[in-house]
Amino acid sequence: MPELPEVETVRRGLAPAMEGYVIAIAQVNRPDLRWPFPENMADRLTGARVLRLRRRSKYILADLDSGETALIHLGMSGRMLVSGDPLGQFVHDHPAPEKHDHVVLHMDNGARITFNDPRRFGAMDLFATDGAEQHPLLASIGPEPLGNSFDDAYLLAALSNRNTPMKSALLDQKTIAGLGNIYVCEALFRAKIHPTRPARRVSKDRISRLVPIIRDVLSEAIEAGGSSLRDFRQADGELGYFQHSFDVYGREGEPCRTPGCDTEIRRIVQSGRSTFYCPTCQR
């Protein structure tokens, strides 16, 4: 499932073709994805101007001049693809419609935004912008790791009484927004923290070092266009390439990249997810 860097990459790719422009025609080709679409979604989107595209955790939010906000969740295989942008940001002509093009937004600048989702685990919703943060999918999410409210003091307090493994604590969206399996593995490796160590037993110094490391890992991944491990594509259809920089994720049995350490990367399963780590560097 796309994590924060992938969703942010898509948001940035969509912005030039959507922000400030009107959805001339909203085409909805089925009644639902993971959940039913909101009532009359096509009519409510058609004619609305996109004031701003923003991201909250792993959700893209489009604030409209109609007073509503469209929420987009990519799910396991969802893609938001741009074609025909007259601003020259994208070089792709409009492709022929495909079977899994479930929602298509025809913008008044000639761009076309297509939500394609073969597995249909994605979702869209439409609700009043006022009070949007109280939406059931958004209300309990923790602070953004790239925002000002995520700092040493916050993370120390959030983890101080947690007996859960460190990796599980960081994956809890109520603790930090948007972190997923890939980037938690990479951040814990850089911080030299063992993924199974109880969160409350990690020293204050290590947790303090972890905050800028999380920011760095996410920022580097965003600049690389995210990680393409299955279905993920950027808004222009191109692959991300941060996967080529992984230190541990997906590298089971390969040597640790830390200079002087030739230990093989190991994989364990935590809460049904693969965890990759170096047993020598991470303690």
Encode pLDDT of 74-102 as tens digits.
988 888 988 886 655 555 567 777 899 99
pLDDT for 6 equals 87
Specify whether 3 is catalytic: yes
Which domains are delineated in the chain? 4-134 (3.20.190.10), 152-277 (1.10.8.50)
Share of the chain above pLDDT 70, in %: 89
Choice between 197 and 93, residue whose per-residue pLDDT is larger: 197
- CA-based nearest residue to 245, from 191, 195, 185, 193: 185
The catalytically annotated residue of 56, 58, 112, 167 is 58
Which residue in this structure is represented by tokens 């992984």? Answer: 246
The catalytically annotated residue of 192, 215, 257, 273 is 273
pLDDT for 91 equals 53
Specify whether 201 is catalytic: no
Encode pLDDT of 232-268 as tens digits.
444 554 544 344 578 999 999 999 999 999 899 999 9
In SS3 terms, 208-262 reads as: HHHHHHHHHHHHHHHHCCCCCCCCCCCCCCCCCCHHHHCCCCCCCCCECCCCCCC
- Average the pLDDT over 115-142 and give the result: 94
Which residue in this structure is represented by tokens 């422009």? Answer: 21
Specify whether 279 is catalytic: no
Which residue in this structure is represented by tokens 């073709």? Answer: 17
Residue 172 has pLDDT above 80, yes or no: yes
Token readout for 69 is 């906000």
Specify whether 192 is catalytic: no
User: pTM for the full model?
Assistant: 0.88
**Residue 168: strand, helix, or coil:** helix
CA distance 50 to 154: 34
Helices (H) and strands (E) in the chain, counts: 6, 10
The catalytically annotated residue of 2, 16, 145, 195 is 2
Res. 29 pLDDT band, cuts 50 70 90 = very high
pLDDT for 30 equals 96
